Amino acid sequence: MAPGPKSPTGGASVPGDEETGTGDRKGRARFAGLARTPSLIAGIVLLGIYAGVGALSPLLYPGNPAVLPIHVGTGFACPTISGPTFSLWPLQGGAFPLGETGGLGFNVLQGLVKGTPYDLLLLTEIIVPAVLVGLLVGTLAGLRGGILDDVLMALTDSFLAVPEFVVVALASIYVLDVVNPADRLWVFGLLVLSVVWAPYARVVRARARTVAQLPFVEAARASGASGSRLMIRHVLPNSVYPVFAQVPTTLASVLTILGGLQYAYTLINPALCHGLVAPPLAPPPLPFLPSFNFPEWTWVLANGATAWTPLASANPWWGVVFPALWILVFGLGVILTCDGLNRLLSVESQD
């Protein structure tokens, strides 16, 4: 449950709030609040690990960071898929510590490590602007009301009415085909951004309408505060809480859209191996990534999924399990961080 709105000072509004020592008390309160939110600490640790992997990936796997070596077969013979070796030093030459995918034959660990900086940048490109646009649109609509509210919510509902997957898939067909291959992933991120901001605007607007009618906002309005000050100083800070619940949903939507389109590509592309298609001859350019051997989490997962069938007697399960776990743990880090931030701000609002 979201915390109740707080006064502009973050707690009870008292005349002596700006006296000497207030900053120290607030600092101690935040520190105590952080100690009472272990979910935030756990989430930050998990996300910090992924950030560290992304920063160290050029050292862990030297060479071109945007290229994954492909273990190709000869002629019409698919190569043998290497299983996990679980070696003590997983990055030693030629080792497949987490195994090798089907499809184009990616080293699973190498693909996940080298793909980490690209996926982190892509998710940041999508989620951060979506949050900012949703906060701006939702706060404006909830605070101003009237015709502006009707127009902004009509625009928001028009984006919510069409499934995100369908919109991005259709836009990708016509847009990415004319985009420079090196820019495809980032243009894809902009296409996803164009549809995922709307849920933020809707939930923030509902919160902002409630906050705009509270006594301390009415008092600020009566004292002559401008509309921009009301929004930035009073309404927006108290309308941010629904965002924390929406971010994990957006993360799931982005990875589902990208992963679903990548997997669909593996099923219809006649140049992939080990799946429902013929052995590789000359893999065509990928419609969503700069190249067919570009390191990206869902692309590694899609290649692993082409060779995995639950009813088969022998399956390279590692090509699906390890990429899925890698993405799942990252999602857990995001969920814990958002939950912890919500709890931390709840503690501050009650101090």
Residue 78: give the domain boundaries: 29-83+95-350
Query: Is the pLDDT assigned to residue 81 strictly greater than 50?
Result: yes
Distance CA 184, CA 200 (A): 25
Query: Looking at the domain assignment, is residue 180 inside a domain?
Result: yes
Q: How confident is the model at residue 112 (pLDDT cuts 50, 70, 90)?
A: very high
pLDDT digits 0-9 by tens, 179-206: 888 888 888 888 889 888 989 988 888 8
Choice between 285 and 65, residue whose per-residue pLDDT is larger? 65
Checking if the pLDDT of 276 tops 80, the result is no
Does the residue 38 lie in any domain?
A: yes
Does 332 score more than 60 pLDDT? yes
CB contact set of 25 (below 8 Å; sequence gap of 6+)? none
User: Which residue would you say has higher pLDDT here, 137 or 282?
Assistant: 137
C-alpha to C-alpha distance for 290 and 302, rounded to whole angstroms: 16
Q: Tell me whether residue 177 is in a domain.
A: yes
Ranked by mean pLDDT, which of 46-55, 79-88, 149-158, 261-270 comes out on top?
46-55
Residue at 232 is within a domain: yes
Write down the pLDDT at residue 96.
82
Amino acid at 328: L
| pTM of the predicted structure, to 2 decimals | 0.81
* Amino acid 14: pLDDT: 43
Q: Which residues pair with 103 in a beta bridge?
A: 273
Lowest mean pLDDT among 149-163, 202-216, 235-249, 264-278: 264-278
Task: List 107's β-bridge partners, or say none.
Answer: 100
The answer to whether residue 14 sits within a structural domain is no
Is the Cβ–Cβ distance between 343 and 331 less than 8 Å? no
Give the pLDDT band of residue 144 (cuts 50, 70, 90). Answer: confident
For residue 32, what pLDDT is reported? 58
Query: What does the pLDDT read at residue 116?
Result: 96
Average pLDDT on 324-351 reads 82
Reply yes or no on whether the pLDDT at 24 is more than 80: no
pLDDT for 129 beyond 80: yes
Quote the tokens at residue 227.
């509309």
pLDDT value, residue 159: 86
Domain membership of residue 18 (yes or no) is no
Read off the tokens for 280. 């590789």
- Say which residue, 337 or 265, is predicted with more confidence: 337
DSSP string, 72-135: --STTPPPPPPPP---SSTTSTT--TT-B-SBTT-BHHHHHHHHHHHHHHHHHHHHHHHHHHHH
pLDDT, residue 10, reads 45
Structural domain tally of the chain? 1
To the nearest whole number, what is the mean pLDDT of the chain?
78
pLDDT of residue 15: 44
- Between CA 330 and CA 322 the distance in angstroms is 12
pLDDT at 312 over 80: no
Whether 349 and 29 have beta carbons less than 8 Å apart is answered as: no
Confidence band of 122 (pLDDT split at 50, 70, 90): very high
CB-based contacts of 39, cutoff 8 Å, min separation 6: 336, 337, 339, 340, 343
3-state secondary structure of 72: coil
At residue 230, the pLDDT reads 73
Quickly count: other Cβ atoms within 10 Å of residue 108's Cβ: 27
333: pLDDT confidence band, cut at 50, 70 and 90?
very high
pLDDT of residue 18: 46
Q: How far apart are CA 117 and CA 311, in angstroms?
A: 35
| pLDDT for the residue numbered 237 | 79
Domain assignment of residue 123, yes or no: yes
Please report which confidence band the pLDDT of residue 267 belongs to, taking 50, 70 and 90 as the band edges: confident
pLDDT at position 89 is 58
Q: Is residue 236 part of a domain?
A: yes
208-241 confidence digits (pLDDT tens): 888 777 777 777 777 766 667 777 777 777 778 8
pLDDT reported for residue 284? 57
Least confident among 20-29, 40-49, 249-258, 259-268:
20-29
Hey, which residues does 100 pair with through a beta bridge? 107
